Amino acid sequence: METKIAIIGAGNLGLSLVTGLVDSGKYQPADFILSRRDISKLEEYKSKGFAITKDNCEAVRMASIVIVAVLPQKMDVVLTEIAEDLTANQLIISLVSGVKVKVIQSIIGDDKPVVRAMPNTAIAIRESMTCIASSENWKSRIPEVKEMFELVGENVVINEEQMTSATALCACGIAFFLRAIRAASQGGNEIDFHANEALQMAAQTAKGAASLLIANNSHPEDEIDKVTSPKGCTIAGLNEMEHNGFSSSFIKGITVSAKQAKGLYTED
């Protein structure tokens, strides 16, 4: 069977994923069937050659890989709807936060392979950090999923119990770092630069900091030590931030986010 991929719930994340996969050159728009209720929002994708539908079951029947990207609260209703059309020959990849493989299988049956993947929106530019996990019985299907997500960034295989923590650190994490960049740009604006200039300078500086760690495989403090001269302005700024709880508030934010991620599926 030709590899067709259905995206059930083609919203922010689903569309970011297909954009990244097509940009990788390995997939074409025609390889995807995008499904959501309001397909007027998919017109742009239709004109690029993606198939679109509001019929989730039709999308599932056309696909060999089914990627589910609806909000957690919609998961039960969507899985119940497509359950009859799913077969054991298909691979189901759930991007949905907080919904365990065993819960998915309690609705669709345990003969269908299910793997979970937790990317972030940088997947659209192929810079995602994607965490991948499954239950013991479907671990053998993880390599196929890894291969797909390697096209759109870095990935790591984790235990399924770690998925909510991965959601906080990597999926929500994008927003945390973006807020840090915005704060830096606001500081830059206050001391001298126009807002747009300050933002460009802050964003590139943040990119440089992350790239240093990745390129040198180093610890942040190693890189910090290189720029903090005695009585200097860098250590003065850093210590002021720490006196005001910089690291502590970042850590607390991630901890609260992880707690919240645990309850996403069960809450209305």
Ligand X SMILES: NC(=O)c1ccc[n+]([C@@H]2O[C@H](COP(=O)([O-])OP(=O)(O)OC[C@H]3O[C@@H](n4cnc5c(N)ncnc54)[C@H](OP(=O)(O)O)[C@@H]3O)[C@@H](O)[C@H]2O)c1
Q: Does the footprint of ligand X cover residue 36 (CB under 6 A)?
A: yes
191: left (phi over 0), alpha (psi -120 to 50) or beta: alpha
Q: CB-based burial of residue 217 (10 Å sphere; 0-12 exposed, 13-18 middle, 19+ buried)?
A: exposed
> Which residue in 121, 134, 155, 164 binds ligand X (CB under 6 A)?
121
| DSSP class of 193 | -
Q: Does the footprint of ligand X cover residue 153 (CB under 6 A)?
A: no
Q: Binders of ligand X: how many residues, by CB under 6 A?
A: 27
Residue 197 beta carbon to ligand X: minimum distance, rounded to whole angstroms = 28
Toward ligand X, which CB reaches closer, 168 or 199? 168
Toward ligand X, which CB reaches closer, 115 or 118? 118
Decide: 111 and 87 in contact? Cβ < 8 Å.
no
Q: What radius of gyration, in Å, describes the C-alpha atoms of the chain?
A: 21
Give the range of 11-19, 43-51, 141-149, 240-248 binding ligand X by CB under 6 A: 11-19
Site string for ligand X, 57-86 (x = CB under 6 A): ------------xxxx-x--xx--------
Q: Does the footprint of ligand X cover residue 257 (CB under 6 A)?
A: no
- The two beta strands, 65-68 and 5-8, are parallel
Q: CB-based burial of residue 149 (10 Å sphere; 0-12 exposed, 13-18 middle, 19+ buried)?
A: buried
Residue 68 beta carbon to ligand X: minimum distance, rounded to whole angstroms = 8
Q: Does the footprint of ligand X cover residue 20 (CB under 6 A)?
A: no
Residue 8 beta carbon to ligand X: minimum distance, rounded to whole angstroms = 6
Amino acid at position 108, single letter = I
Q: Does the footprint of ligand X cover residue 11 (CB under 6 A)?
A: yes
Amino acid at position 69, single letter = A
